[in-house]
Amino acid sequence: MLLAIPFPEIDPVLVEIGPLAIRWYALAYIVGLVGGWALARRLVSAQALWGAARPPARETLDDLLVYAAFGVILGGRLGYVVFYNPEVFLARPLEIFMLWQGGMSFHGGLAGAALGLWLFARKTGAHPLVVADLCAMVAPIGILLGRLANFIKPELWGRPSDVPWAMVFPGAGPLPRHPSQLYEAALEGLALFVVLMLVARAGGLRRSGLVTGVFAAGYGVARIICEFFREPDPQLGFLFGGATMGMLLSAPIIIAGAALIARAKGPQEARP
């Protein structure tokens, strides 16, 4: 066996009170949403970042949190069902609602969140692209925490490797593997968050859609890079030419992001 760093086995259940078990996985979603909400409140209060663009009123962000949460959870679950395991759920459709058994798709969650923020924008009269920019600014927080939860569980591990930091993951066989969850946490979460903060400080929030475009393109590129180190989902494997489902779903996100960057509107056009 190749040398490997021992996997730091962490109980996936953070705390258990009688029949109630609080798992790291669920906590990642909760803290990601609440942390994003808290940062969004600070961002909308910094009017200098927005210029003439009008962010949602601070008092409406509680509603935005609810719209985003439902969009992420429902979209993430349905995306997993449609993209990654349709045969299993067609055979046992009641398992679609068993969220505690795991199985969420980022791309589905992104689509659900987009629908949620659009509905929120319609309700409040905010400009959809301005709302999207605000959500894009805080989304990497949830991505970072979610990938760390994937590592703790553990799931979505990497491909076999002989790098010095490779790990033998429980349930993944005897071979050392890339800790690809940590790669994704670093690139899709931390690095993307830093890039978006720099874009915002440079005036990016004054051009509606620019931050959303940078987020979409940046996430898509980071995800495709990480897919080269991540083990494909066993029920799908490699699709063609070494491509994975994650790569295929990320390609249109990059294209959409590039289009938003290219046609980002000036602040005077951000008003509904």
Neighbours of 37 (CB within 10 A): 18
Residue 212 vs residues 106, 118, 230, 257: alpha-carbon distances, Å: 16, 13, 26, 7
Q: Which residue has the higher pLDDT, 115 or 23?
A: 115
pLDDT at 260: 96
Rounded Cα gap, residues 166 and 197, in angstroms: 31
Q: Most distant CA pair in the chain: distance in Å?
A: 62
> Which run of H or of E encompasses 23?
strand 20-23
Is 1 a residue whose pLDDT tops 60? Answer: no
Q: Which residue has the higher pLDDT, 180 or 101?
A: 180
Rounded Cα gap, residues 272 and 250, in angstroms: 30
> Which run of H or of E encompasses 114?
helix 106-124
The pTM of this model reads 0.87
pLDDT at 185: 97
pLDDT at 2: 52
Query: Where does the pLDDT of residue 44 fall: very low under 50, low under 70, confident under 90, or very high at 90 and above?
Result: very high
Is 165 a residue whose pLDDT tops 60? Answer: yes
pLDDT digits (tens, 9 = 90+) for 116-137: 999 999 999 999 999 999 999 9
Q: Which residue has the higher pLDDT, 41 or 6?
A: 41
pLDDT digits (tens, 9 = 90+) for 194-235: 999 999 999 999 999 999 999 999 999 999 999 999 999 877
Tell me if 147 sits within 8 A of 136, measured CB to CB. no
Is 13 a residue whose pLDDT tops 80? Answer: no
Average pLDDT of every residue of the chain: 88
Query: Where does the pLDDT of residue 3 fall: very low under 50, low under 70, confident under 90, or very high at 90 and above?
Result: low
